[in-house]
């Protein structure tokens, strides 16, 4: 499994964390390791989605929840 971290803009409280966690739970090929205020550490489960697809799916799920995300460098 490949791990990656996304920086999430606009996520400031526990309610935001819960909303983002729920959105990520629906993203196929993405395994949520930790979501905390301002960032999410995720993994790609290679079978359903390679790492690049997992990143795109996670960012799209976060956007649907009303936040913006980008790969943390």
> Using CA atoms, how far apart are residues 3 and 64, in angstroms rounded to an integer?
22
pLDDT digits 0-9 by tens, 11-70:
999 999 999 999 999 888 888 899 998 898 887 766 555 788 888 999 999 999 999 999
- Indicate the pTM of the whole model: 0.86
Q: Which domains does the chain have, with CATH numbers?
A: 2-71 (3.30.70.100)
Asked if residue 62 lies in contact with residue 1, where contact means CB atoms within 8 angstroms, the answer is no
């Amino acid at each position: 499994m490949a791990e990656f971290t996304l920086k999430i803009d606009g996520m400031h409280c526990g309610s935001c964390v819960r909303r983002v966690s729920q959105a990520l739970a629906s993203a196929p090929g993405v395994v949520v390791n930790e979501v905390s205020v301002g960032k999410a550490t995720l993994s790609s489960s290679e079978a359903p989605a390679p790492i690049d697809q997992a990143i795109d799916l996670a960012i799209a799920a976060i956007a649907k929840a009303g936040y913006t995300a980008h790969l943390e460098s």
